[in-house]
Amino acid sequence: MNLRNKYYRIAVYGFVLSLLLQLVLFFAVDPYIASVISPFYPVWFILFVVGWRQEHPRR
């Protein structure tokens, strides 16, 4: 995994920020408001897969 790949970097940073924001909202505000962040996890996964395909193209 090469973090110079912009898709990897966006996916990892987005995942970490979403997780931290979800934990803060869960404990500080309300668990139901924290669930608003959950739909972003597939976006980070898709960006990770795009980065993987960019680094390991098909032959």
Q: Count other Cβ atoms within 10 Å, centred on residue 59.
A: 3
Q: How far apart are CA 46 and CA 25, in angstroms?
A: 24
CB 47 within 8 A of CB 7: yes
What pLDDT is recorded for position 13?
Answer: 94
Q: How far apart are CA 27 and CA 36, in angstroms?
A: 14
Q: What is the pTM of this model?
A: 0.83
* pLDDT tens track for 13-56: 999 999 999 999 999 998 899 899 999 999 999 999 999 888 88
What pLDDT is recorded for position 23?
Answer: 94
Question: CA Rg, the chain, in Å?
Answer: 14
Q: How far apart are CA 22 and CA 46, in angstroms?
A: 19
What pLDDT is recorded for position 25?
Answer: 93
